[in-house]
């Protein structure tokens, strides 16, 4: 039986809720990502909202959706520990390095993930790749640095394109970098972040995922880094 991409995302969202219920002590704070897969996770999380203490949201959109389900959302500054952060990815390798930020929430996602003990990535199998870069790499940039950062990215071999009409939750712009084949994701993440004016880039490789829940038509697989 073939499954649509939404059915795969729903299946993996349910598996993530089961993971949270099994791994996070009752009353824990759960970090919640952004995007269509994260949205299915939020909808499924509502079923166990009495078991979790509260959540921290990685975007205004996620905050709104969580609150719509009557799930408590805390400011990250009120939280000192979080067992699990659950989020999707645009691409992920077998080493569980990720390329994220298709929805433009990369900076807050990286900040919330930094506080969490475990990053649980939820994806359908179309996201698993051997080399990242086919999906344009989002880079959040302070607006006045746009042209300078774009020139520096060209020197690194990428073709930056301004995401037209888009402003991040932090009031910045996104450059989507095309034409990359990222051989060493942690090194490229570090080099991009060293450009003055870059807030964050969408590579999550220096700190990748700890667990990948991967939806396939045969069921949800649980992968750890190769």
Contacts of 129 (CB under 8 A, 6+ apart): 91, 92, 93
Contact with ligand 5RP (CB under 6 A) among 16, 61, 90, 215: 90
Of 135, 30, 139, 42, nearest to 89 (Cα)?
135
CA 43 to mean position of chain CA atoms: 17
Contacts of 57 (CB under 8 A, 6+ apart): 32, 63, 66, 73, 108, 112
**Could you confirm whether 109 is annotated as catalytic?**
yes
103 part of the interface to ligand 5RP, by CB under 6 A: yes
- Cβ atoms of 120 and 17 closer than 8 Å: no
- Beta bridge partner(s), residue 132: 182
**Residue 103 vs 160, nearer CB to ligand 5RP:** 103
| Annotated catalytic residue within 7, 60, 109, 125 | 109
Part of the chain binding ligand 5RP (CB under 6 A), chosen from 28-36, 44-52, 188-196, 212-220:
28-36
**Residue 53 vs 120, nearer CB to ligand 5RP:** 120
Binding mask 33-72 toward ligand 5RP (x if CB under 6 A, else -) reads xxxxx-----------------------------------
Can you read off the two tokens belonging to residue 5? 């991409």
Of 197, 226, 30, nearest to 116 (Cα)?
30
100 part of the interface to ligand 5RP, by CB under 6 A: yes
How far is residue 15's CA from residue 71's CA, in Å, rounded to a whole number? 19
**Residue 36 vs 51, nearer CB to ligand 5RP:** 36
31 part of the interface to ligand 5RP, by CB under 6 A: no
The minimum distance between CB 59 and ligand 5RP, in angstroms, equals 7
Q: Which residues bind ligand 5RP (CB under 6 A)?
A: 33-37, 87-90, 100-106, 109
Give the residue numbers marked as catalytic. 109
């Amino acid at each position: 039986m073939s499954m649509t991409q939404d059915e795969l995302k729903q299946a993996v969202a349910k598996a993530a809720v089961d993971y949270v219920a099994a791994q996070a002590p009752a009353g824990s704070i759960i970090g919640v990502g952004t995007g269509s897969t994260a949205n299915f996770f939020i909808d499924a999380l509502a079923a166990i909202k009495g078991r979790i203490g509260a959540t921290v949201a990685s975007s205004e959109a996620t905050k709104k959706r969580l609150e719509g389900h009557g799930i408590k959302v805390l400011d990250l500054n009120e939280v000192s520990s979080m067992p699990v952060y659950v989020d999707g990815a645009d691409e992920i390798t077998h080493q569980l390095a990720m390329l994220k930020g298709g929805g433009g929430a990369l900076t807050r996602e990286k900040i919330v993930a930094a506080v969490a003990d475990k990053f649980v990535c939820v994806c359908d199998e179309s996201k698993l790749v051997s080399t990242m870069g086919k999906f344009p790499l989002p880079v959040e940039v302070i607006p006045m640095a746009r042209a300078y950062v774009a020139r520096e990215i060209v020197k690194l071999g990428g073709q930056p394109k301004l995401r037209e009409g888009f402003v991040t939750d932090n009031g910045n712009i996104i450059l989507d970098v095309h034409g990359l084949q990222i051989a060493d994701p942690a090194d490229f993440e570090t080099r991009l972040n060293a450009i003055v004016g870059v807030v964050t880039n969408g590579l999550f490789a220096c700190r990748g995922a700890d667990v990948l829940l991967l939806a396939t038509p045969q069921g949800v697989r649980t992968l750890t880094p190769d």
